[in-house]
Amino acid sequence: MKYRPLLCIIALLLTGVVIWFALSAAPARESIPGTDAAQRRLVRIWVCSSVGGGESWLRDCLKTWEKQNPGAMTFLRTVSPEEITKEDAVLPDILLYTPGAITAPQDAFMPLSNITGIREPLLRAGRWQMQQYGLPLCYAGYALAIDSAAEPQLAATPAPTTLLGKPAATLNPDATATPGLPQGVTLIAPKGCGLFTLGCLLTERPALAEDFATTDPADIYRRFQARQATAALLTTGQITALNGVFPFRVITPSEVITDQVWLASIFPGADDAAAELLQYLTSAESQRKLSKQSLHTVREDLRLYATGTEALMETAAARALTVINAYIPAADVEAAAWQFFHGREGISEALMPLL
């Protein structure tokens, strides 16, 4: 009897050893990808400014990327430029912005590398002091829209014009278009870079008041849509959105000069998944989705449109594409465009400091 406690202890130890061997010999259960907390990755994205239709395209791409990468999640937030420079700001992984929003990228972002397949004029827009800080994701061009109310002699009818079958106002082939602006037209245009395109399109440039071109592209679109002006400089996406609202004529440029480019940059300390996400956003799969928003691809090997205003703009950009550097102060761009439009500087002279 006196050995009974000792025997119980030995029996318990043997039982524990047996159980341990049984568990270690059993095959490990495979977890579903992404369900393990250690595998979850969150990419935080701030949008400081965007091109029209860009955010809808982005949300579509993010959903697809998350499905293709189990455990990966994205958080999207719209912020003002001031929030980025706050001392107590908890910065995200990625910032999305358009030219003029950031002026000192070397103080905020990580240099990017191993970028291939992107058009050089667009890459230059995100380059500063010989370093690539911004990755272009998409862009839009400017075209001049003239309300049919200003040109009653021109008949306009809707016709399918893109790979997606979106309509556009098309002219009667027998009609005679005015080379410049019809008499009495009220012209509106966004401030800054748009005046370069407007100056190239118009054979006779009207005198502009000092407060002309002081609104952004969204305001220009709303005013033209409400028919508060009979001519407006719009982006291709805005023109597509207006098709079917009322008839109008579109004049597209022979070459594209734009500041409507959407760029992405990575902050120091960002999750590794941030670079993977940017690579996906510039992939052919994501770039093809830009046609839903009438935006243009940044890829060298891809074209999105067969006919219509978008196709004309795409062809013009293939001929010559000039993109304003993203980190030039907006006031400098506005001043240079104003000087060019009024004939005080040639286009090369005006553009060179902005590239």
Residue 337 included in any domain:
no
In a domain, 26, yes or no: no
Q: Tell me, what's the pLDDT at 287?
A: 98
Pick the last residue of a domain from 255, 274, 303. 255
**Does 335 fall in a domain?**
no
59 and 73 both lie in a single domain: yes
Classify residue 254 by burial, with Cβ atoms within 10 Å: 0-12, 13-18, 19+: exposed
* 94-97 and 127-128 strand pairing: unpaired
- Which CATH number does the domain housing residue 150 bear? 3.40.190
Per residue in 83-131, pLDDT (tens digit) is 988 888 899 999 999 999 999 999 999 999 999 999 999 999 999 999 9
Q: What is the pLDDT of residues 309-337, one digit of tens each?
A: 999 999 999 999 999 999 999 999 999 99
Q: Is residue 133 domain-shared with residue 236, that is, in the same domain?
A: no
Q: Are residues 127 and 186 in the same domain?
A: no
Tokens of 158: 């809707």
Residue 310 within any structural domain of the chain: yes
| Two structure tokens written together for 25 | 């010999």
305 closest CA partner among 233, 234, 236: 236
> Do 178 and 225 belong to one domain?
yes
For residue 311, give its domain range. 39-139+258-327
Q: What CATH number is given to the structural domain containing 97? A: 3.40.190.10
Shared-domain flag, residues 162 and 250: yes
The pTM of the full predicted model, rounded to 2 decimals, is 0.82
Residues 245, 106: one domain? no
In a domain, 97, yes or no: yes
Q: Report d(CA 140, CA 316) in Å as an integer.
A: 12
* Look-up of token digits 């760029």: 263
Residue 30 within a domain: no
Give yes or no for residue 355 having a pLDDT over 80. yes
Asked if 131 and 276 sit in the same domain, the reply is yes
pLDDT of residue 9: 59
pLDDT given for residue 135 in this prediction = 98
Averaged pLDDT for residues 40-60:
93
Domain count for the chain: 2
